[in-house]
Amino acid sequence: MLQPKKSSSNWLDTAIVPSKVKYGTPEYEKAYNEGQVQSKDFDPNSFDPTWWGGVLPEVVIKRKNKDKNWLEQYRDKIVNENKDAGVLGAIIGTPISAITSLPQLMGMKALTGKMERPSEGLGISNPYGAFAIDAIADPANLIGAGILTKEETLAKLGKTSVSTELKEGLHSNGFLDMFKTKKPLEKVSEFNSEIDWSKWNKEIPDNPHLMKEYDAIEQTSKAKGSWMKNPDGSVFQGTPEQFVQQNSSNFKKAFPEGSENVFRGTGENIAELRPNRSTFTANQELASGYAPFNKKSNFLNSESVEGGVHSFYRKNSKNSLELDANNTSWTSVDLSNRRLTKDYFERNIKSQEDHITKQKEYLSKMKQNPNGSWEAPDGTTYSNDLYKNTVAERELYLKDLKERYKNIDNLISNPKELEEMKKVLGNTTTTDDIAAYVEKRNLDYVKLKNIEDSGVGDVTIINHKPGNYLKSAIGNNGMFDMTNPNIYKALIPGAIGLGVLQEKQKSNNWLDNLQ
């Protein structure tokens, strides 16, 4: 009988060194009872017959592992792999899961110190991939300058000769055929984004999940030819950062019905607007009128310290009201429908067309003076700018009238809500009163189109409340958290906001009617 080598601190020196005994001898019986018996020509692709009580004329005794519980560990490993199989599954599945048997598990234990499969040692989570690796991997192939990396191992196993049956079985179970090519797997080249996210918001580069999604959006849309395009194929009006963020999962979750870009002029950059209060916003031209004189084109981001113009995303919602104020003033908003009838628009359009015709005829009789001004036969003098713009402005207004006339049936988005508003506010009211109404009725917003407020434009009064918070379209950290009133990112202390347009004073107690 051959004796095993002397124990050493080096795991290679303690590797299995077999000795032989004759079947039927006391030494055989002792080794068999201790679980040290293996077949002479042990096949790792079949179970050892002695495990099932078979006998051999000559056996191999393996050096017993130092760990007292190694056999129990092996047993527990096999049982754990089939714990959910049920009685029949355990009877059939246990020998199947142990197809690579004890040598593979013990080889990995020698390498990693754990009773585990090669797939576990390599961190392969795909169940089909793990099965493929465990079915063909020999721990001895993982020995080199330490254990190979996952990529190196897959490349090496890709050259392994595997039966056609195993390949077909793996492929039919959804595992991509790793044996299709003899070439080693190549690392995917790192994607180089054209966006420097640290300049947009310093928090974004520190969010790996967000960066992974942003790179995927940019890379995929460029590959498909949809980069900087709207779903209908039209050109996206915004920055690359806004394109990516608007296509992100966080944005779509925050704005499930879409959004509208609104603006707010302010003398200072306020990150946290007053929650549960109405906030005035407007189209860009109107809103810029409320920014400091030299900051009308200064769009604010999370790093801004001075005033300028906020650019917001406003959540679309059916819990709202949109109506055409038809050029009435913010101090006397017309809630009646008398200006929203076909007859009114037709008469107004005819009047504007006649006026433009007469104006052109009048201007045609003017003569330009040496100083550039224009003088009419009746002695009236126009500056050069007035001469060029007076007709142009009316033509723009006429064009807008015709567009609204075509869309007359949709000038009021929620007729029922308008009737409720008129019951409380009457046919004529102010934007101040509408703002208070929005809060009391718990509406998401009221949008007044074509209203006069230091110029004619659109004013949207938004109920800045949880689930309906405004979010900055510039410098956003990408979370779009609708539970936070902060327009840029997570909740921060301090800052109470001021109105974008004037916060006009209420002068009566009509709100008692809404209690």
Q: Which tens digits make up the pLDDT trace of 293-331?
A: 888 888 988 778 788 999 999 999 999 999 999 889 999
User: How many Cα neighbours within 13 Å face the side chain of 367?
Assistant: 5
Residues 319 and 351 in one domain: no
Residue 2 has pLDDT above 60, yes or no: no
Residues 405 and 429 in one domain: no
Asked if residue 466 and residue 321 are part of one domain, the reply reads: yes
pLDDT band at 493 (very low <50, low <70, confident <90, very high): very low
Same-domain pairing of 418 and 515? yes
pLDDT surpassing 60 at residue 217:
yes
Looking at residue 14, its pLDDT comes to 42
Q: Are residues 456 and 309 in the same domain?
A: yes
Structure confidence at residue 276 as a pLDDT band (50, 70, 90)? confident
Q: Does 9 reside within a domain?
A: no
Split at pLDDT 50, 70, 90, the class of 19 is low
Across 183-199, b (16+ Cβ under 10 Å) vs e yields: eeeeeeeeeeeebebee
pLDDT given for residue 9 in this prediction: 46
- Domain's final residue, options 410, 438, 458: 410
Question: Do 326 and 465 have their domain in common?
Answer: yes
Query: Average pLDDT of 215-225?
Result: 96
Residue 218 lies in a domain: yes
Segment 425-431 mean pLDDT: 96
- State the pLDDT at residue 48: 42
* Number of domains making up the chain: 3
Q: Is residue 403 part of a domain?
A: yes
In terms of Cβ atoms closer than 10 Å to its own Cβ (0-12, 13-18, 19+), residue 210 is: buried
Strands 320-324 and 381-382, bridge-based pairing: unpaired
Amino acid 358: pLDDT: 94
Give the per-residue pLDDT at 400: 87
Which domain, by its residues, includes 389? 341-410
Q: How much is the pLDDT for 401?
A: 87
Do residue 359 and residue 210 come from a single domain? no
pLDDT in tens, 120-175: 766 666 555 565 666 555 555 554 434 455 555 555 555 555 555 555 554 554 44
What's the whole-number average pLDDT of the chain? 76
Q: What strands lie across the sheet with 320-324, from one edge to the other?
A: 320-324, 445-452, 456-464, 277-282, 259-266, 308-315, 471-472
The predicted model gives 190-215 an average pLDDT of 94
pLDDT score, position 190: 74
**Residue 297 within a domain:** yes
Examine the domain organization and report whether 324 and 416 are in the same domain: yes
- Residue 216, CB-side half-sphere exposure with 13 Å CA sphere: 9
101 located within any domain: no
Decide: 485 and 272 in contact? Cβ < 8 Å: yes
> What is the reported pTM?
0.56
